[in-house]
Structure 1
Amino acid sequence: MLTKFGPDIWIADGPVVTAAAGFHYPTRMAVLRLRNGDLVLWSPVALGPELRAQIEALGKVRYLIAPNSLHHTFLADWHRAFPQAQVFAPPGLREKRPDITIAGEIGTAMLPGWDGEIDVVVVRGNQITTEAVFFHRASRTALFTDLLQQFPPGWFTGWRAILARLDLMTAPEPSVPRKFRLAFTDRAAARAAIRQILEWPTEKVLMAHGAPVTAQGQAFLRHALRWLRP
């Protein structure tokens, strides 16, 4: 089910998926509507008839976005459903998913029709994944996939709960998981990206794995990213 998150932005939570070592992750997507009515689908979740109908009622699906090389599970299903849509992804996914026709890599290809409506910063220098962080100007929302996470108490059990706690995935507040912090081999590139992100007039922050932040988003990001902030 789609839920309105602000002007021309909606979110939908999808099913829980299983990742490496049996860790379970919730899924969340966002739908951004451009001024011309075209839709940008950010990190699509599982495709179902009800969700598809709700999205088609909003406008024409023109862009399918994989924000990093880890969020691609349902991308091919959406591309089959909307073959006219262009797929954009950051570096690394094209080699991982040769079955998906990727129109361009975020950070190198121009994203048509987005000027003045959606800003994108690619956070480079991480060995796990290259993540593209989005800013939707109309709603003043910054969108993160895996660089910011917070799972509720009890989400993980047994040894996975211990690892999640050590990794800061279940910290008292949303934060960058420790594994991602250690995977930054080019911190200068990461700091340059964070500098751009912190310049956005962010009011809301949407995370794929964590409760949305609905106020004082820029202050939240300054605090959450303080460990690597310029």
Structure 2
Amino acid sequence: MTALQAFGPNLWIADGPVVTAGGGFHYPTRMAVVRLTEGSLFIWSPVALSDALRREVDALGPVRYLIAPNTLHDRFLGEWQATYPAARIHAAPGLRQRRPDLDIAVDLGEEPPSDWAADIDQTPMHGNLITTEVLFFHRPSATLLVTDLIQHFAPTWFTGWRAWVAKMDLMTAPEPQVPRKFRVAFVDRAAARRGLERILEWPVERVVMAHADPVHADGRAFIRRAFGWLA
């Protein structure tokens, strides 16, 4: 795990532990912390909460919003909610039904709530059978936050048959890509295109992804390449 790293104005990222998903695939984890204009914190895709990470987060401001950007990134929400009981969970569509144990306050929708609309825009990518992921754009840093829809791993990250599956899924392609399983799962491509069109309206310069190295420049061009198959 790493300490919080400044990524832009009022934006920090931190890498958490590697976790095991279905099929025994190992994934690194990454979260982002946004300090909103009014001073409270927006925690995107929270990772495991260590004592060191908690101290650093507490030094930035009060935690008010815990964000589950899709139905696959919910593993550590319970421990964050227990630690910060005043924080409200805002979750992607479908997570409320899958995790009745969590106290989910709000289902993420088409528009940002007034709580963070001054700093962050958002849009769901509808039409996917795996999950409806909500993407966020932090205006002060011109940064797009992407969870699972774009991924990239070193060719040696996976071994054995998992390495073959990852290659076929485009997870180990030369640059970050939308994995093939997500492409196939977009059964309503018109809905997906509407989400992409909105994303491309944002002046994206940088991109933070949960499962790929961050992009530091020409973010909008990067997004166009990653989603070129959807055009």
- Band the TM-score falls in, shorter-chain normalisation: over 0.9
Name the structure 1 match of 2:184: 182
SS of aligned partner of 2:96: helix
Distance (Å, rounded) in 1 between the aligned partners of 2:25 and 2:47? 17
SS of aligned partner of 2:212: coil
Distance (Å, rounded) in 1 between the aligned partners of 2:224 and 2:118? 23
Name the structure 1 match of 2:10: 8
Name the structure 2 match of 1:23: 25
Distance (Å, rounded) in 2 between the aligned partners of 1:68 and 1:113? 19
Name the structure 2 match of 1:113: 115
Name the structure 1 match of 2:71: 69
Q: Cα deviation per residue 1:72-117 (whole Å; 9 max; x = unaligned)?
A: 0001100000010010011110011111011111016862321231
Distance (Å, rounded) in 1 between the aligned partners of 2:82 and 2:110? 25
Name the structure 1 match of 2:167: 165
SS of aligned partner of 1:57: helix
**Which runs of 5 or more residues in structure 2 are unaligned?**
none
Structure-2 change in CA distance of 1:76 and 1:58 (3 Å)? same
Query: How far apart are 1:183 and its partner, in Å?
Result: 0.4
Q: Cα deviation per residue 1:109-167 (whole Å; 9 max; x = unaligned)?
A: 86232123100010010000000000000100000000000011200000000000000
**Which runs of 5 or more residues in structure 1 are unaligned?**
none
Q: Cα deviation per residue 1:53-86 (whole Å; 9 max; x = unaligned)?
A: 0000001100000000000000110000001001
Number of residues paired by the alignment? 229
Name the structure 2 match of 1:103: 105
Distance (Å, rounded) in 1 between the aligned partners of 2:115 and 2:22? 36
Distance (Å, rounded) in 2 between the aligned partners of 1:57 and 1:9? 14
Q: What aligned pairs does 1:77-92 form with structure 2 within 5 A after superposition?
A: 77-92=79-94
Name the structure 2 match of 1:50: 52
AA aligned to 2:58 is E
SS of aligned partner of 2:14: strand
Runs (4+) of structure 1 exceeding 6 A deviation are: none
Structure-2 change in CA distance of 1:210 and 1:102 (3 Å)? same
Tell whether the 8 Å contact from 2:28 to 2:210 is kept in structure 1 after alignment: yes
SS of aligned partner of 1:13: strand
SS of aligned partner of 1:195: helix
Tell whether the 8 Å contact from 2:111 to 2:123 is kept in structure 1 after alignment: no
What is the TM-score when the length of structure 2 is the normalising length?
0.97
Name the structure 1 match of 2:230: 228
SS of aligned partner of 2:229: coil
AA aligned to 1:162 is W
SS of aligned partner of 1:179: helix
